[in-house]
Amino acid sequence: MRIIREINKNHVLRIAMKLVRESKKTVHGTMILKEETRNLSKEYFTLMNKKVSSGLRVKRIGFGTHKDFAIARQQLGYSSVIVRGEFKLCSNTNLAQRMLIADKKKMIFAVYQSKDIKRVFYTENKFIVRGFLSYFDNLFSSL
């Protein structure tokens, strides 16, 4: 198996849902608030809420403005449904790194070639996952 595999942009949502569906303990995720509040996948977040209700712990960082963060919290139901999760705002979008890590073992992440061109990758390589998780945890604890 290759260390990193590129994901076709048409398959990203399906693979993200598969990672969430297969997660047993934790999901660490980030989102670009302006993008995801406009293009919210109801199916993805319904699945996420269902998994949270069954005990999955979710930590999420949203990159953007306070206004977009308030919209995202409302759309995602953080005020009522998600009680085993944490959602924090990072207003410094220069620190933004798109990622979704399942059970600290598998992940997808984005690499931006320019503002509008991104490539998405999948890996189970423990060193790569650990590096992204370390970045996530350090940023999360500083917010």
9-21 pLDDT, tens digit per residue, is 999 999 999 999 9
**What order of strands is seen across the sheet that includes strand 26-32?**
4-7, 118-123, 106-112, 99-102, 26-32, 57-63, 85-90
Q: So what CATH class is 4-142?
A: alpha beta
Tell me the whole-structure pTM to 2 decimals: 0.91
- The stretch 38-49 carries a mean pLDDT of 83
**Phi, then psi, of 96 in degrees rounded to 5:** -60, 130
